[in-house]
Amino acid sequence: MFFVSKSRKFQFFGELITSIPNDDNKIALTFDDGPTENTAAILGKLNELEIKATFFVCGAGIDARPEDAKAIVQAGHDLGSHSYSHQRMILKSYTFYKEEVDRTNELVRASGYEGEIFFRPPYGKKLFVLPYYLNQVDMTTVMWSIEPETILGNDASPDEIAQYVIDNVESGSIILLHPMYNAENVLAALDILIPKLQEQGYTFCTVSDLYDEYR
Ligand SMILES: [Zn+2]
């Protein structure tokens, strides 16, 4: 069971995406957790680099910082669900999952987001009951194909993070980063990797852009 619940490519119900290969070298940056006090700095950096990204935030984070969630939407980024409470999504009741999903969807809508709400489970865990419910409400689970901080460790330098992404990127890659906690490091990495990948012909877009165009 441990191996099944950790698998990023397989689940029993509902659609699960780890990347969306395409002929246009489009890729997506995704940022998990929050919103936190770092939201403004992240939005400023994306604005400066003229990039749209996808934020998977927690309902509890929106409750705590509703203006930050609204600012993400107003800047034109995707706002996705990362559950309400960021607990491990295994061995819980149907009602627990339903509340985690529904409550967060309501908060995402209250933030002004009108697009499809994608779901990213905390810790990448899913198993039976959560995918069953996501399928019932027709929500797609979006995982990732590149996770530099997980592989390199939390003290990786901006150069190391950027180089890891550059070395592993391919068309349709979905890149996971955590600037809500480690803003300085991750934003410095974006300064390196975004121009570099654009030079190589990659275009950054949101998960919904990738999904709408290529799925
Ligand atoms: Zn998380």
- Distance from the alpha carbon of residue 197 to the mean position of ligand 1, in angstroms: 25
Residue 21 has a pLDDT of: 95
- Distance from the alpha carbon of residue 23 to the mean position of ligand 1, in angstroms: 30
- The length of the chain in residues reads 215
- Distance from the alpha carbon of residue 31 to the mean position of ligand 1, in angstroms: 9
Rounded to 5 degrees, φ, ψ at 154 are -70, -15
Residue 48 has a pLDDT of: 98
- Distance from the alpha carbon of residue 86 to the mean position of ligand 1, in angstroms: 6
List the structure tokens of 197. Answer: 């990948």
- Distance from the alpha carbon of residue 33 to the mean position of ligand 1, in angstroms: 5
- Distance from the alpha carbon of residue 143 to the mean position of ligand 1, in angstroms: 11
- Distance from the alpha carbon of residue 122 to the mean position of ligand 1, in angstroms: 5
- Distance from the alpha carbon of residue 168 to the mean position of ligand 1, in angstroms: 22
Residue 129 has a pLDDT of: 82
Residue 141 has a pLDDT of: 93
Please check whether residue 183 is in contact with residue 37, taking contact to mean a CB–CB distance below 8 angstroms. no
- Distance from the alpha carbon of residue 48 to the mean position of ligand 1, in angstroms: 25
- Distance from the alpha carbon of residue 83 to the mean position of ligand 1, in angstroms: 9
Neighbouring residues of 77: CB distance < 8 A, sequence distance ≥ 6: 43, 46, 52, 53, 54, 55, 206
- Distance from the alpha carbon of residue 199 to the mean position of ligand 1, in angstroms: 30
CA-based torsion, 180, 173, 196, 26: positive or negative: negative
Rounded to 5 degrees, φ, ψ at 182 are -115, 60
Q: How far is CA 45 from CA 9, 96, 177, 184, 204, in A?
A: 31, 36, 14, 11, 14
CATH topology of domain 2-214: TIM Barrel (3.20.20)
- Distance from the alpha carbon of residue 26 to the mean position of ligand 1, in angstroms: 24
- Spell out the alpha helix ranges (H) of the chain: 2-6, 39-49, 59-64, 66-74, 94-110, 129-136, 148-152, 158-168, 183-199, 207-214
- Distance from the alpha carbon of residue 32 to the mean position of ligand 1, in angstroms: 5
**Would you write out the chain's pLDDT as a tens digit for each of its 215 residues?**
445 555 555 555 668 899 999 999 999 999 999 999 999 999 999 999 999 999 999 999 999 999 999 999 999 999 999 999 998 877 888 999 999 999 999 999 999 999 999 999 998 776 678 888 998 899 999 999 999 999 999 889 999 999 999 999 999 999 999 999 989 999 999 999 999 999 999 999 999 999 999 98
- Distance from the alpha carbon of residue 115 to the mean position of ligand 1, in angstroms: 21
- Paired sense of beta strands 78-81 and 141-142, if any: unpaired
Q: Is the preceding omega at residue 35 within 30 degrees of 0, hence cis?
A: yes
- Alpha-carbon distance of 89 to 172, in angstroms, equals 27
Please check whether residue 148 is in contact with residue 186, taking contact to mean a CB–CB distance below 8 angstroms. no
For the whole model, what pTM was predicted?
0.93
